[in-house]
Structure 1
Amino acid sequence: MTISPFDSALLGDLFADREIAELFEDSAQIASMLLFEAALAAAQARAGVIPEASATRIAEVCRDFQPDPASLTAGTASSGVPVPALVKALKAEIGGDDARYVHFGATSQDVFDTGLVLRLRDVISIIRRRIRKLAKSLSTLAETHRNTVMIGRTRSQQAVPTTFGLKAAGWLAPLVRIDRRIEGLSHDLLRLSFGGAAGTLASLGGKAAAVENNLAEELDLETSDMPWHAQRDVLVDFASQLTALTGALGKMGQDLVLLAQSEIAEVQPGKGGGSSTMPHKSNPVQAEMLVTLARFNAGQLGTFAQSQLHDHERSGSSWLLEWLTLPQMIMAAGTALAQAVDMVPALKVNQDRMVANLDLSRGAMLAEAATFALADHVGRDAADKLVKDGLAQSAANQSNLFDELPKLTDVPVDWAAVRNPANYVGQSDAYIDRVLATAKRGLRD
């Protein structure tokens, strides 16, 4: 096994998300930093800080410059960040008098953090696009199975009837909320990081505000009220939403793993995985992956949250902790979404098994329905006693509760209607309608 399964050649297709992985490759990280340097030169030229010809030369070289990441390794190890080595290599490539204007007035964290933000903008676009795709599949599932009655289970035990459509709506609803929260935090997250040596931009004197605004325009980012070198709350907020997302998907995965158990067999999630020795097995690999990635991100969030503890105006240790954790959390969220997007449309729903499982309790799962039906005639306490007596008789005779209750009382209850699980799903239809309406309204393209 490699140190990280996310970039393992052996395990990569199981854990990795290639579209998101590309955004965290060394080449992508370098490209985002070069984009910053080119934009900074352009912004400074517009403000009259550096010559326009120098800015043009810097932009030309940044556009085509592709240093070998390995060539920056020694400098990165020495400085604790790749920016100084990159700037040195870039200056050598540019040459002449123009080179002295590279990285003018900026600090390494400006370059690195803004490069991260530029890539996070693409990450958010990918994640929200996939949430929409998954939401459409879950909406279809909820609509198709709004009348598919099944056992509702609480604390792993049979409770009262529900519908598979409502269960699917329950998987959908948190995705809509999480998407809305990610959209909301994007306004604060996708901001320029530009503060110079210690967050004052003193090196640019009276031109600082102009350069800052120009740079934000060049990169299509917002400015902040002040540099956020040591303010990492929004990154923690983003990591929290990634964890909420993988958690919501993990809950769906956990449900599907349990519903796919051989003894229950109400669903077959996605593409089953085979066993090396048992040819009859179809393991719910994709659903299991959702559970695994949810647990992974839940654990990582506690570690990542500690990166918010910066010393004074910058902390190297807290900053490096982000590099160890955030990319993996993003990868886990992307992979979970990709697995879910692939799995849900291929989900097989065994309605016949759902009907058969409804009969396993011999009517006991409708004891609450029987109690309320009787209470209209004899009061709640008497109704409770009648149903408990009926359950005892049912257990003793291995019979259905609703075959025993008419023997215990002659009150005029329509037992045929009460014993039908489809008549005891409450507001399922209304809840499905509300979730689907919210999803349609909240996930418009």
Structure 2
Amino acid sequence: MSQLYASLFYQDDVTNIFSDQTLIAYMIEAEVALAQAQAQVGVIPQSVAVTIAQVASTALEQIDFDALAIATALAGNIAIPFVKQFTAIVQHVDAEAAGYVHWGATSQDILDTACILQCRAALQCVEALIEQCYQVALRQAQQYRSQVMIGRTWLQQGLPITLGHKFARWASVFYRDLVRIAAMKERVLTAQLGGAVGSLASLQSQGSAVVHAYAAQLQLSVPTSTWHAERDRMVEIASVLAMVTGSLGKMARDWSLMMQTEIAEVFEPTAKGRGGSSTMPHKRNPVAAASILAAANRVPVLMSSLYQSMVQEHERSLGSWHAEWLAIPEIFQLCAGALQRTLEVLDGIQINPEQMQRNLDCTQGLVMAEALMMALAPHLGRLAAHHLIESACQAAVAQGVHLSEIVMTLDQVKAHFNSTQILALFQPDTYLGNIQAQIDAVLQEAKGLSK
């Protein structure tokens, strides 16, 4: 991505993890682990593994990235020209050791393993950002648990809720994100070592032992079988990130709608030069929401590519595997960028309680129609109560008066409630259902996660 846009959509730490330099560093790490594993099992001399590891410690500085880029276009993947360069670097130090570089492996083994190492590092960053968002959302849920506002369905005013309830629901999403990531790690952070067609025939009877030692060197799980053409692990990682990004998009959609001039209930944090317009000095644009919503728009498209890439030919694929190299880094970077901007908003969001109250009042009591209906239902039956209050709402709108004025004239209502009781039914904070219990449950859930 253009550097001009990277600051808007990406997050620096994750972008660095998916840089060319870091990819090659992880490929070098995989080659070293391979040599050490093979020496441990007795496939290659121990002295050779020591030399390869020593050379590898400074090899990244000697890689010619310009030449690597040119050769990659000819080879079809990065690993082939990389192995040639890395072997040449070892050759300068020890010709015998150079003969054992990449012993028994295939290009995809090194690239897949390097990608898994990238994913592991990037997941740590993503987890940390989710955890921060989670903690801030919990704090806001507690702080605003009693701040009454209008709940909306189909973009229309529905019933009263509290701002804390909205934050609690978001916090619960972050909790589930953390649980999903923790649950999948053992399953997806897996070494890849299968040789040409996945049989590791090049290592004869020592293949399984080398795979176990290789995975241990890298602190990755051991696959029961090669997964060159079975890409569910990569798709699972990306799918979880897509869910995270989609949830962030929902949150950004909410607060951007709440920032509309006519609503004006919350605002993104202010900063010099943030949210302005090139032509309208009065504007306060939801710029973080724009970035997050763009990510939530883009990631499903990238996921479509990954889902299609699962349909692969035989033992190693043509083209489908290659599509991952484009999609996975961008999904990680967009997800991390969206998390970073969500964290900034959650932490610095500005609340307008007075406007929340005005929005509750603007329908002149209509938002309490269900409360009236449910109070009457035991006396009239639910359907009859519904019809009565619906007619009262229509009359209030037609006459431009508060719903309470109409309701107080209805004999069916006066037969069961006095005026004080009727007015009490129009208090939004008395019709919040089990919202406080839900907030408590979310806060309690967090205590369980921290144990």
TM-score w.r.t. length of structure 2: 0.94
Q: Give the structure 1 partner of residue 289 of structure 2.
A: 287
Distance 2:279 2:190 in 1: 53
Which segment is superposed worse, 295-304 or 196-205? 295-304
Residue 16 (str. 1) matches residue 10 (str. 2): yes
Q: Which residue of 2 aligns with 1:398?
A: 400
| Equivalent residue runs for 1:257-268 within 5 Å | 257-268=256-267
CA contact (8 A) 1:391 1:401 kept: yes
- Provide Cα deviations, 1:12-70, integer angstroms capped at 9, x if missing partner: 21122111011111111110000011111111111111111111111111111020211
Deviation at 1:381, TM superposition (A): 4.1
Q: Tell me how far 1:281 sits from its aligned partner.
A: 1.0
In structure 2, how many angstroms separate the alpha carbons of the residues matched to 1:9 and 1:354? 40
In structure 2, the partner of 1:73 is: 69
Q: Does 1:428 align with 2:435?
A: yes
Unaligned runs of at least 5 residues, structure 1: none
> 1:185 corresponds to which residue?
184
Alignment of 1:1-400 (within 5 A): 4=1, 8-66=2-60, 67-95=63-91, 96-271=95-270, 272-400=274-402
The 8 Å contact of residues 106 and 196 in structure 1, kept in 2 or not, is answered as yes
Gaps of 5+ in 2: none
Deviations 1:397-433 (A, max 9, x none): 3111112211112224211220001111101111111
Change (3 A) 1:65 1:195: same
Q: Distance between the aligned counterparts of 2:443 and 2:225, measured in 1?
A: 41
- Structure 1 window deviating more from structure 2 (402-411 vs 416-425): it is 402-411
Structure-2 separation of matches of 1:395 and 1:97: 90
Contact kept in structure 2, 1:377 and 1:411, CA below 8 Å: no
SS in 1 for 2:368: helix
Are residue 438 (structure 1) and residue 445 (structure 2) matched?
yes
Name the stretch that deviates more: 317-326 or 386-395: 386-395
Deviation of 1:391 (Å): 1.9
Identity %: 37
Aligned CA RMSD, in angstroms, stands at: 1.4
The letter of the residue matching 1:342 is E
Name the aligned partner's letter for residue 397 of structure 1: Q
Residues 381/193 of structure 1: CA separation in 2 closer, same or farther (3 Å cut): closer
Deviation at 1:337, TM superposition (A): 0.5
One-letter identity of the residue aligned with 1:438? E
User: Per the alignment, do residues 28 and 374 of structure 1 end up closer, same or farther by CA in structure 2, a change over 3 Å counting?
Assistant: same
Provide the C-alpha distance between the structure 2 equivalents of 1:253 and 1:235, rounded to a whole number of angstroms: 27
CA contact (8 A) 2:130 2:177 kept: no
Q: CA-to-partner distance for each residue in 1:163-190, whole Å, 9 max, x for gaps? A: 1111111222222112211211111111
**Greater CA drift, 78-87 or 416-425:** 78-87
1:362 and 1:400 in contact (8 A); partners too: yes
What TM-score, normalized to structure 1? 0.96
**C-alpha separation between the residues in 2 aligned to 1:111 and 1:384?**
67
Cα deviations by residue, 1:131-178 (Å, 9 ceiling, x for unpaired): 110001100111111111111110001111111111111222222112
- Structure 1 pair 30–403 and aligned structure 2 pair: CA distance change class (3 A): same
Question: Using the alignment, how far apart are the partners of 2:383 and 2:231 within structure 1?
Answer: 58
For the Cα contact (< 8 Å) 1:212–1:223, is it kept in 2? Answer: yes
The separation in 2 between residues aligned to 1:370 and 1:74, in whole angstroms, is: 73
Shift of 1:317: 0.3
Give, as a single letter, the amino acid of the residue that structure 2 aligns with 1:69. F
- Measured in 2, the distance between the counterparts of 1:284 and 1:363 equals 30
